[in-house]
Chains A and B, each alone.
Chain A
Amino acid sequence: MNDDKIIICRCEDVTLKDIKDLLQQGYTNFEDLKRLLRVGMGACQGNTCGQLIQREIAKFLNKSIEEIPLQKVRPLISGVPLEKISEASKDES
């Protein structure tokens, strides 16, 4: 299958080709790719694309996968409507 038909990040529709193109341009860590492609910034927080991208970076740099840091994990773990948070914090006070 062509690299531009293989979806790596389902949240942002990023293909394997997009990843490989940026690796070629010298963006070889997850944080760079995240900022330029939004991989890991979607609703799943990189749970789908994280290890796939880690593997591509490892392959490109000819390193083992353990040597490639994953992206920074940020709160929240899953999406929560803002109004649920504001309502809940009203109950506490």
Chain B
Amino acid sequence: MKVNCLIIGAGISGVSIAYNLAKKGMKNIHVVDKGYFTSGATGRCGAGVRQQWASKRNCILTKKSMEFFERAKKELAYEGDLEFKQEGYLILAINEEEHKQFTKNVKLQNSLGIPSKQITKEEALKIVPHLNKDAFISATFCNTDGHLNPFKMTEAYYLAAKRLGVTFSFFEEVVEMKREGEKITNVTTTKNNYQTEIVVNAAGGYAHEVGMMAGVDIPVYAENHEILVTEPVEKMQGPMVISFAKNIYCQQVPHGSFIMGRSDPNVPKDHNIESSWQFLDEMSKTVADILPQVSKLRVIRQWGGSYNMSPDREPIISGTDEVVNFYMACGFSGHGFMIAPMTGLLLSELIMGEKTTLEMDSFHLKRFKDKDFVITEKSVV
């Protein structure tokens, strides 16, 4: 089969790239995915969208993405409900060190037009009255942060891309790529062989493996992050509550259930996505500490999903010097869902040879060659 562009991965990044390319007029785009619809990281994510970060890159990406989410239903002509809500993210400072860091973060965020603010404990308790007042010292709040249903958001892009002529196949795994000099010429899957001009790696947790097939060693790896959901109840909490120091994010989604997760600092680098009782234990203790009322709810399901980690915990959206027709959108380190609109826009501009909305060098794979890159983003669970 002959295509202009083969996108590997039909998660939120893949469908956003496909939609943006098709919108710019590219024809004959095909997307393959090794599983079912949203079977990878997108369908397993925490479903939050926020703009409060410590790094400038993340602030800009998420702010511009939020502007898209606000008009997504209309732009993508989606008939369903995206379950979009903007009731903020409340980020708790647990100690003086965090409080000082958050002062800096808010200053940076405000300078980029993000309406976050640092607030006192009393103000935070007005926003979320059932917070344990002894568990934190202050907070930051951004009222335009919020939530979106990842399945619906992905479907909205998917259907819009299909209407623009993009084709998709699921349960089809890439097994081999053939290179001639600096170009990939053929991609073989479990079901087909594609002759293609351009290859895009949007493989999420498997981005490293797909890179290796193209002969590009991308320094990303997968790690399991677990999460759980409670029974649905009447609305009791507007914003997502996060603490980096206590290691928790917890939000009530419009459906009524609470979604919460935390990270395991000792998690191995692999593709395991199983659920563990250790997570359930730690999660229940953390939520009992911070949100005692929420811990009265019944947990009905837990699951895991892969973060695709990059060395500086920020995304790689770039082409490569070694293989001229190979592009990648990976290394999102747990935040690919909330910046997908920008991922699609930036990578499509790069592929079409247009002037890019942002300066792209800082997103390039080659930043890791210097070895002296810094990890500025510490606002991560």
Partner-B contacts on A (CB < 8 A)? 27, 29, 31-32, 35-36, 38, 41-43, 45, 74-76, 79-83, 85-86, 89-90
CB <8 Å contact, B299 and A82: yes
A4 CB, nearest partner CB in chain B, Å: 17
Residues of B within 8 Å of A79, CB to CB, are 231, 298-300
CB <8 Å contact, B301 and A41: yes
Residues of A within 8 Å of B145, CB to CB, are none
CB <8 Å contact, B302 and A76: yes
CB <8 Å contact, B37 and A27: yes
The contact string, 1 if C-beta is below 8 Å from chain A, for chain B 275-306, is: 10000110111011000101111111111000
A83 to B300, CA, bound (A): 13
Known contacts A35-B43, A36-B155, A89-B285: A75-B302 contact under CB 8 Å: yes
Determine if B62 is an interface residue (Cβ-Cβ < 8 Å).
no
CB <8 Å contact, A45 and B284: no
Q: Can you report 10 residue pairs joining A to B where beta carbons are below 8 Å apart?
A: A36-B152, A43-B300, A74-B302, A74-B303, A75-B275, A81-B295, A81-B296, A82-B283, A85-B281, A86-B281
Determine if B325 is an interface residue (Cβ-Cβ < 8 Å).
no
A80 to B230, CA, bound (A): 9
CB <8 Å contact, A42 and B36: no
Bin chain B's interface residue count: 20 to 34
Known contacts A79-B300, A82-B294: A74-B37 contact under CB 8 Å: no
B317 CB, nearest partner CB in chain A, Å: 26
B81-98 with Cβ < 8 A to chain A: none
A64 CB, nearest partner CB in chain B, Å: 19
The contact string, 1 if C-beta is below 8 Å from chain A, for chain B 299-342, is: 11111000000000000000000000000000000000000000
A36 to B153, CA, bound (A): 11
Determine if B167 is an interface residue (Cβ-Cβ < 8 Å).
no
CB <8 Å contact, B299 and A83: no
Known contacts A41-B301, A82-B288: A31-B230 contact under CB 8 Å: no
Determine if B255 is an interface residue (Cβ-Cβ < 8 Å).
yes
Give the nearest-CB partner of A81 in chain B.
Answer: B298
Determine if B185 is an interface residue (Cβ-Cβ < 8 Å).
no
A45 to B229, CA, bound (A): 12
Residues of B within 8 Å of A41, CB to CB, are 229, 301
CB <8 Å contact, A31 and B37: yes
B17-57 with Cβ < 8 A to chain A: 36-39, 43
Determine if B151 is an interface residue (Cβ-Cβ < 8 Å).
yes
